[in-house]
Amino acid sequence: MKKLVIVYYRVYDIDRTELTIGGIQTYIHGLVLGLQTRYDVSLVQIGPTRTERIDNITILQFSKYKTIIKYLNRTLSPEDIIIWGTDNLASKLECKAKSVSIQHGIAFDYFPRENRTAHLLDKLRLQSVYRYFQQRNSLKWIDKADNIVCVDYNYLNWYRTKRLDSEKLTVIPNFAPAVNKRDRDNRGQLKVLFARRFVKKRGTEILVDLCRLCYENNLSIEFTFSGEGPEELSLKERLQSFKNISFTKFNPSGKADIFSSHDISIIPTIASEGTSFSLLESLSYGCVVLASNVGGMTNLIINEYNGFLCNPTAESFYEVLVKLDKNRPLLNRVKNRGYEVAEVLDANRWIKEWLKLLEKI
């Protein structure tokens, strides 16, 4: 079998022999499992040097990126394939192995004021300088791989405004889990789920304002925050006085249960989003999606058909919640159409498109 190596920062916690949490990790894990039938697949990541076999996957761990490059040049031939788990890891190799890098969505639509350099540039009103270098870096990374897989059309269309060689870019949207239909009586109080990392760019500030709007306007909504992250303590402190708000850790093995026990999944991302796994999971498990109209989420949702697209503001999300609270038949219609879209975006389709690309190169 032809060798295929996938490189990423960290997919498995080797010491605990478990998959690490994150959208890219989920993506790569699914890719390894899907390609094993056709290729001799191994996974390379950064960490204390060792080799392990976990979940029938060979995992090679090296302490430095330079050591990984030396290993790849030593062991791969021009007939083999390397997949860079994200575009900023890509590197030109002396071994001339065929290469594919994965572009997970535009990240430079987010201005990270919590970053010291970005904060200084913001004070000096030089945000455009920061964005220029982000975009320039993105184009440099694209040049380091023979083929690029984009998870959304948003990046492809931006790339076309910069260059004419978009033929090397192929769009393969992320995959949805197998549809799991469960009947749920939603005639009572609506249950709203936020199942994402607790970080600012995922919309935690919008969530706080949204909870406040619901409270001030007596809209009876039950919110569940499922996840963890640097904003967790801040969220709990600012929301402790509001009723009907609960926090829980996200358990990947129990995601079908948590999504299907809620009516609505809210994805208030303010930037830096591809085709969100949280969104796709919501569709598969019958949770009506309210998503910001950013990034690749606009490739997945047709507004008021299989979900709702909102401006990334609390007021925009609040208006939709009020509409759905008053109109439960609309909620049910959108939920059922969400199942239809998830079925089109299943994992079999995703792997077939990947295999088609790899066979072509």
Cα 149 from chain centre: 14
Closest CA to 345 of 103, 146, 152, 210: 152
Query: What tokens does 147 get?
Result: 């083929």
Residue 18 has what pLDDT?
86
Buried b (16+ CB within 10 A) or exposed e, 313-337: bbebbbebbeebbeeeeebeebbeb
Q: Is 319 left (phi over 0), alpha (psi -120 to 50) or beta?
A: alpha
Query: What tokens does 240 get?
Result: 């402790």
Closest CA to 168 of 184, 155, 186: 155
- Of the chain, the end-to-end C-alpha distance in Å amounts to 16
Helix H, strand E, coil C: the string for 31-91 is HHHHHCCCCEEEEEEECCCEEEEECCEEEEEECCHHHHHHHHHHHCCCCCEEEECCHHHCC
Residue 291 has what pLDDT?
98
Helix H, strand E, coil C: the string for 216-257 is HCCCCEEEEEECCCCCHHHHHHHHCCCCCEEEECCCHHHHHH
Identify the structural domains of the chain with CATH numbers, from first to last.
3-174+347-360 (3.40.50.2000), 190-344 (3.40.50.2000)
Residue 191 has what pLDDT?
96
What does the alpha-carbon distance between residue 7 and residue 76 come to, in Å, rounded to a whole number? 13
- Report DSSP letters for 155-190, one per residue: HHHHHHTT-S-GGGEEE-PPPBPPP-------SSSE
Helix (H) or strand (E) run with residue 335 in it: helix 328-344
What does the alpha-carbon distance between residue 330 and residue 270 come to, in Å, rounded to a whole number? 26
| Entry pTM | 0.92
Give per-10-residue mean pLDDT for the chain (361 aa). 94 88 91 94 96 93 96 96 97 95 92 74 80 92 96 97 94 95 83 95 96 94 94 95 91 88 96 93 97 96 97 98 96 96 96 96 89
